[in-house]
Copies of this chain bind each other. A is one copy, B any other.
Amino acid sequence: MREASLKAWLLGTLLATAGACATLARAVTPASEPAPIKPLTAAQLEGARALRERAMTDDVGYEFLRSLTSEVGPRPAGSVGYDRAVSWALAKLKALGFSNVHAESVWVPHWVRGEARAEIVSPSPQPLLPTALGGCPSTPPEGIEGEVLPVTTLEELVALPPSRVRGKIVFFDQRMERTRDSGGYSRAVTPRGRGAWTADSMGAVAMVMRHAGTGNDRLPHTGAQTRDHGVLRVPGMALSNPDADLLEQQVASGRPVRLRLWSTSHWADSVHTANVVGEIPARDSRSFIVVGGHLDSWDLGTGAHDDGAGLAIVTASAKLIAQANPRPKRAVRVVFFANEEFGLNGARAYARAHMDELPRCVLGMESDLGAYAPWGLECRVPVDYLPLVRSMLGVVEPLGIEFAGNQAGGGADVGQLRERGVPVMEVDTDAAPYFDLHHSANDTFDKIDPELLRRNIAVFASIAYLATQAESGVGRLEIKKP
C-alpha cells in the first residue's frame, strides 16, 4: 500500500512540475473529472501560513481539553458521563461562537463495566490487575477458574485441536511493537476483537491477553471485543505488560498455571443519545468540509488524548479558520461522533442521515490519534489532485510534516464518509508514546503537551482551511459498493 501511494505521489509531483498534463493524468485515472484543477492562489497560501502562525500561540484547544477532562471526564457509550458530554459539547460549541449547534439522534449499545479481578491460583499465587474488555460478561460470584493455555496469535489457537483448548483460559501473549505509525497497534489488537469469541468456540472458559499497549505501567488498556456475533458468553480481559510478564514467568516454570477470574460487567439496554454538530458558515457556498472526532471515550481515563485531543484539534481549527483571511469559502462542519469506541454508531448514523448532502461535502478530516508530535499528511484523493495536496503540504512542511501517502482510511468515523465518495485527509501523529496510555486509566489531561497540541492544531487547521479555499475541491472517490 505504501509503495503504491508513493508511486502515485511521485506521479503527482511530476504532473505539477510539468504543468498541465491532463492527458497523461486521464490516461492513469480514467475516472477523474476532465475540468482543469485550479491551483491555490498566493493569497490563499499566505492566509494559511498566517493561520498556522496564529495557531502556535492560541490556547483555545488546550482550554477546551482542560474543561472536557475536568468537567466531564469518562464518557463511554450509553453512560451518564456521555450524556453529560453531549450537554457540555452543545454549550461549549455555542460559547465558542459556532452556528447551528445541535444534537443528532443516535442509538448506542450500553455495556456496563463492573469490577474485574484476576488471581494466579497456582503454582505461585499472586493477584493480577486486569481490565475487562468491552463486552465482557459477568462470571458467577465465585469466579471462573481454569488452566492457562498460552498462545501467541489467533492463528496459533485455531490450529490447536479443540481437546487442548476445552476448559482452559486462553492467554494471548503477544507483545505490541512500538511504532511511529499505528502499525504496531493494528498488529497487536487482533486477539482483542476476536480472541474471546474464538476461545469460546473451541470450548475455552475465558480469555486473557497481553494488552494492545506499550509501556510498562500496570494499567491495562481496555477496548472493544467484536459485537458482530451477538453477546459474548466467556470473559475477555486484558493484562498490562508487567502482569503478562508475571503470568508468562510462571508459565515458563513448566508447571501448570491456574488462573481465576471474576467479573461483574454486564449489558444494559441500548440508549438513545446523540452526535453533536456545529458549523462555521460560509457566505457564498453550500459546500462544506467535515472535521470530526469522537465524543465518547473509554471509561478508565478521562479520554484526554483519545479523543478529547481530537475534538480540541478540530474545534480550535474551525475557530481559527473562521478568523482567517481570506475568509473560508466553504463551511466547516464540526462533528463530535457518538460511540466510536464500541460500534461506530455515531458515524454510521451521521453518514445515513446526511447521505443526500454528501456530494456537497468536499473533504472529511478526522483527528483520532492523540496529540503527540504530528509528522505526516496522508490523503485519499484522485491522483490528479495530488499536486494540490502537495501545495497544501508546503504550508505545513516547516512544522516537520512529510507526505505519508494517498491511501488514507480517513479514520474510523470519517471513514464512513470516505466509503460514500468523500475524499479524506489525515494528520499523522507520533503513535509511539500514544499507545503507552491509549484506552487506559493513564489517558488524562496531564499527558497533554500544550506545545504539541498547538502544533497539531496548526497543521490540521492549515490543511482544512486550504480545503475550504481550493476552488476545484479535491475531487471525489469511487463509492464503495455495499
Contacts and interface: CB of A to CB of B under 8 A. Distances in A.
B442 A246 contact: no
A217 B440 CA distance: 10
Interface in A408-451: 441-442, 444-447
B446 A245 contact: yes
Contacts of A302: 126, 246
A74 B126 contact: yes
Nearest to A436: B217
B245 A445 contact: yes
Given A129-B441, A218-B219, A219-B218, A446 B74 contact: no
A323 interface: no
A152 to B, nearest CB: 19
A444 B249 CA distance: 13
Contact of A241 (B74, B216, B446): B446
A189 to B, nearest CB: 22
B124 A446 contact: no
Contacts of A364: none
A242 interface: yes
- Taken together, the copies of this chain in the complex come to 2
Nearest to A440: B218
Contacts of A444: 216, 218, 242, 245-246
Nearest to A66: B249
A250 interface: yes
Given A66-B249, A217-B219, A442 B126 contact: no
Contact of A73 (B66, B71, B124, B447): B124
A70 interface: yes
A72 interface: yes
Contact of A217 (B124, B125, B217): B217
Interface string A123-152: 111110100000000000000000000000
A124 B72 contact: yes
A217 B215 CA distance: 11
A70 B249 contact: yes
A95 to B, nearest CB: 16
Contacts of A241: 446
Interface in A79-116: none
Residue from A71, A72, A242 whose CB has the most chain B CB atoms within 10 Å = A242
Contacts of A72: 124
Contact of A70 (B124, B127, B129, B216): B124
A246 B70 contact: yes
A141 to B, nearest CB: 16
Contacts of A242: 442, 444-447
Nearest to A437: B217
Nearest to A444: B242
A447 B217 CA distance: 9
A371 to B, nearest CB: 15
Interface in A53-75: 66, 69-74
Interface in A31-72: 66, 69-72
A70 B250 contact: yes
Contacts of A441: 129, 218
**A-B CB proximity, top 9 nearest:** A73-B126, A242-B444, A70-B249, A71-B124, A218-B441, A217-B217, A242-B446, A216-B446, A218-B442
5 contacts: A73-B124, A73-B126, A129-B441, A241-B446, A242-B447
Given A70-B246, A74-B127, 8 more contacts: A73-B124, A74-B126, A217-B217, A217-B219, A242-B442, A245-B445, A245-B446, A249-B445
